[in-house]
Amino acid sequence: MPFAVPVVDIGPYVQQDGTPEQRAIVAAAIDEACRTFGFIQVIGHGVPTALTNGLAEAIDEFFRLDLEVKKAYRTPPEVNRGYTAPKSESLSLSLGYESSSRMKDFFEAFNVGLAKSDFPNLPVDSKHYPENVWPSTEHAPTFKHRVQSYFVEAGRVARTEVRLDGKDDLMGMGAHTDFGIVTVLWADQVRGLQVLDAQGSWHDVSPMEGALLINLGDLTARWTNERWTSTLHRVKPPILENGTVERRRSAAYFHDGNAEALITTIPSTIAEGQAPLYDPITVGDHIAAKLGGSRAGRRNEAGRETQRVLAATG
């Protein structure tokens, strides 16, 4: 069977006037995609094309700067903000295994997220909500504004996905699963992203024109007792025939949930007489253990998640 990431039009959930019947059809399609693929291409998401085109330009604006300039925007490993240079992270350690090559990942990234200052009236912990580090307007004049505009829209799409469970009872990167609840992934159409299927084969995936990719993170697997699982994926460096590396751009919005929220298995996903597959954990503790692996080189003791991954990769 060809590997085709399912396409789901979430319009009925995005538009105010979606009827319950239309929404039920979307929810059933999402449930099917989450149980089988764990990756979805969503259309009808309502993110204007001008905004994603602007995001692509903003990415170019920053990443074409000299390495030394970009390095000025680094933060310590425990602060998941700002620039990450190539070969500074190992996503395999977020899963609790050492990659066979022991090489660090090739990708470079710029990390942004919610910050303590976004919640002036709430007692949030800056350990989980560190301040953003933005490039100066001299270095990248439109970056901050365009990334922030996309961030707002990607957050809206992520929250739509979480709302959309439909039933009250369900609510050049190393191979990894994402850490949080859902990821909204914008990517250009340069090949590189690969997804592992249930039989253990890797498949190239690039979103169709106008689609955003949605994939599930480990917290969703914990929450749903693996009815919906976090799918393994990786990014191959896009190397051209003449040996040069082609630039590939992507922007992942990680919807992780509130740091202090406790993720416990949804009771209806546990079969009669069975114990849940995972112990409860707060979002903050789970994400900190994963980041300790990928950013600080401390192998994460993920237990069940590690076993699942090693079984899949053989």
Ligand X SMILES: O=C(O)CCC(=O)C(=O)O
Q: Which residues contact ligand X (rule: CB under 6 A)?
A: 173, 178, 185, 187, 193, 233, 235, 250, 252
Min separation Cβ 116 and Fe ion, Å: 25
Interacting partner of 212 out of ligand X, Fe ion, none (Cβ under 5 to 8 A depending on kind): none
Distance CA 85, CA 247 (A): 15
Interacting partner of 93 out of ligand X, Fe ion, none (Cβ under 5 to 8 A depending on kind): none
Using the minimum distance from each CB to ligand X, give the nearer residue, 89 or 153. 89
Min separation Cβ 173 and ligand X, Å: 5
Helix axes 143-163, 49-63, angle to 10 degrees: 130
**CA-closest candidate to residue 41, choices 210, 190, 168:** 210
Distance CA 217, CA 239 (A): 28
Query: 169 and 268 in contact (C-beta within 8 Å)?
Result: yes
| Residue 134 structure tokens | 């933005």
Using the minimum distance from each CB to ligand X, give the nearer residue, 12 or 180. 180
233 beta partners: 176, 195
Distance of CA 200 to the CA centre of its chain: 21
Interacting partner of 193 out of Fe ion, ligand X, none (Cβ under 5 to 8 A depending on kind): ligand X
Using the minimum distance from each CB to Fe ion, give the nearer residue, 12 or 174. 174
Chain position carrying tokens 């490993």? 77
Using the minimum distance from each CB to Fe ion, give the nearer residue, 147 or 187. 187
Using the minimum distance from each CB to ligand X, give the nearer residue, 129 or 253. 253
Please identify the residue of the shown chain whose CB is closest to the bound ligand X: 250
Residue 204: half-sphere exposure toward Cβ, Cα within 13 Å: 9
Distance CA 282, CA 76 (A): 23
Interacting partner of 182 out of Fe ion, ligand X, none (Cβ under 5 to 8 A depending on kind): none
Min separation Cβ 255 and ligand X, Å: 12
Using the minimum distance from each CB to Fe ion, give the nearer residue, 178 or 305. 178
Q: What are phi and psi of 286, to 5 degrees?
A: -65, -50
Using the minimum distance from each CB to ligand X, give the nearer residue, 190 or 275. 190
Chain position carrying tokens 């200052």? 117
Min separation Cβ 20 and ligand X, Å: 34
Query: 243 and 186 in contact (C-beta within 8 Å)?
Result: no
Min separation Cβ 183 and Fe ion, Å: 6
Min separation Cβ 251 and ligand X, Å: 8
Q: What is the DSSP string of 9-38?
A: E-HHHHSTT--HHHHHHHHHHHHHHHHHTS
Interacting partner of 10 out of Fe ion, ligand X, none (Cβ under 5 to 8 A depending on kind): none
Distance of CA 2 to the CA centre of its chain: 24
Using the minimum distance from each CB to ligand X, give the nearer residue, 105 or 153. 105
**Residues found near Fe ion in the complex (CB under 5 A):** 178
Distance CA 15, CA 55 (A): 24
Chain position carrying tokens 């849940």? 276
Interacting partner of 184 out of Fe ion, ligand X, none (Cβ under 5 to 8 A depending on kind): none
